[in-house]
Amino acid sequence: MRLANWSLIVIMSAVVFRIKKMLQLSKNQNKFSYLIIGGGSVGTAVAHFLLNNLGISSKDIFLCKREGPSFFQHRFETNHKTYQIETESPSPDKLQKINLCFVCVKAFDLKQALLQHLSAINPKACVVILCNGFLNEELNPVISTFSSFKWRQGVATLGISKAGDQCYALKSLSGQITWGPLMPEKGRPLTSELFLLKQDVFGVFSWRNNIKPLVMKKWLFNTVINTLSVVKNTSNNKLLLDYQSELESLFVEGFHLAEKIFGEPWSETYDGLFEDMVLLIENTGGNENSMHRDVIEKRKTESSYLAGLALRYDNEFPLLCSLHQSIISNS
């Protein structure tokens, strides 16, 4: 009987603690401010989820573009609805109160964007990097300079396409924005992060103590899918399945290159990863590949942070090297 009573006390204590924690998070709602660096597809999606999924006030969400702090006005389409995304241009005082910063720029713009904007914001803020590619060499010198920030590596697995001028459309409802600490042993989210994770009933935002396996996986899929899409000039992802042999050959090289550049073996099997990649292609079959769009519009690509990394290893990855050179010469 005493044991039963003790168990009940333990359970009730846990419930009370959880309720107090949730109430504390609710009280902190208006104390948190969010900054998005980069106003492209991922940046617009982050703003949409903060505003429309979590109900955070537009007065607490700010944007910095390449030219600096900016008023933000985009449209975002999802689930047959169009949302107006509007945020104010932040003052220097408001930037100093930022708690959580999402960095959503191209890999080749990352270092400059961080050096340009971080000195203006709260030095104790949490910085979540949501950029494609292998970024260690871009990040390491910046982290040394801005060591007071809480640094996070993130992955966005959202199927987003451009749907017009300053308008983006979410093509898949299964994607997430996941992040975790750069060093797995420092794996506890801050209160500002915990608030988002607790309030997000839609499950778009998620946390992983060890984010590296997911970063490797995203890098591998981007390397194979983006590279082949550009070289084969496919208007949507589903057409990549017509090039099964090339898909498999690229995957083999990318699989082994990832272990070299990230410095650790895969935690998932080769066959399992390949099946996941094919499933991703099928699920995003109607989406236009972002790198393919970059090439069409004569914009710089992120290939140097994907397939281009193979150039470091002489002739070990000949297909990746050849296709990267082809992309560079045509962009």
Quick one: CA dihedral 292, 297, 301, 307, positive or negative? Answer: positive
Contacts of 13 (CB under 8 A, 6+ apart): none
Q: Which pLDDT value is given to residue 7?
A: 53
Closest CA to 225 of 264, 268, 282, 172: 282
Q: Is the pLDDT of residue 203 over 50?
A: yes
Q: Which pLDDT value is given to residue 255?
A: 98
* DSSP conformation class of 51: I
Identify whether residues 203 and 247 lie together within a single domain. no
| 169, 192, 209 - which closes a domain | 209
Q: Which pLDDT value is given to residue 73?
A: 86
Q: Which pLDDT value is given to residue 25?
A: 46
For range 55-69, the mean pLDDT: 88
Of 99 and 15, more confident: 99
Identify whether residues 140 and 249 lie together within a single domain. no
Q: Global pTM?
A: 0.88
Lowest mean pLDDT among 60-74, 273-287, 293-307: 60-74
Q: Which pLDDT value is given to residue 206?
A: 95
Percent of the chain with pLDDT over 90: 68
- Give per-residue pLDDT as tens, 84-123: 999 888 999 999 999 999 999 999 999 999 999 999 999 9
Q: How is residue 3 written in tokens?
A: 């044991």
Q: Is the pLDDT of residue 188 over 60?
A: yes
Indicate which CATH number applies to the domain containing 236.
1.10.1040.10
Lowest mean pLDDT among 2-6, 30-34, 145-149: 2-6
* DSSP conformation class of 88: B
Q: Which residues of 287-306 are buried (b: 16+ CB within 10 A; e: fewer)?
A: bbbbbbbbbeeeeebbbbbb
Of 40 and 69, more confident: 40
Q: Which of the given ranges, 19-28, 44-53, 269-278, 291-300, has the highest pLDDT on average?
A: 269-278
Q: Is the pLDDT of residue 19 over 50?
A: no
Q: Is the pLDDT of residue 173 over 50?
A: yes
For range 168-196, the mean pLDDT: 85
For range 24-45, the mean pLDDT: 78
- Give per-residue pLDDT as tens, 112-155: 999 999 999 999 999 999 999 999 999 999 999 999 999 999 99
> Is 11 among the domain residues?
no
Q: Is the pLDDT of residue 166 over 90?
A: no
Of 69 and 295, more confident: 295
One-letter amino acid of 56:
I
| 209, 224, 241 - which closes a domain | 209
Identify whether residues 319 and 254 lie together within a single domain. yes
**Chain centroid to CA 90:** 23
Average pLDDT, the chain: 88
- 148-150-153 Cα angle (round to 5): 135
Identify whether residues 189 and 225 lie together within a single domain. no
Q: Which pLDDT value is given to residue 3?
A: 46
- Give per-residue pLDDT as tens, 244-280: 999 999 999 999 999 999 999 999 999 999 999 999 9
- Count of domains for the chain: 2
**Chain centroid to CA 293:** 19
Closest CA to 216 of 264, 283, 269: 264
Range of the domain at 103: 28-209
> Is 280 among the domain residues?
yes
* DSSP conformation class of 79: T
Identify whether residues 188 and 280 lie together within a single domain. no
pLDDT band at 302; cut points 50, 70, 90 = very high
One-letter amino acid of 213:
P
Identify whether residues 228 and 191 lie together within a single domain. no
Q: Which pLDDT value is given to residue 186?
A: 65
Q: Which pLDDT value is given to residue 17?
A: 46
Closest CA to 149 of 74, 224, 218, 99: 99
Identify whether residues 186 and 256 lie together within a single domain. no
Q: Which pLDDT value is given to residue 77?
A: 92
Percent of the chain with pLDDT over 70: 89
| 185, 209, 233 - which closes a domain | 209
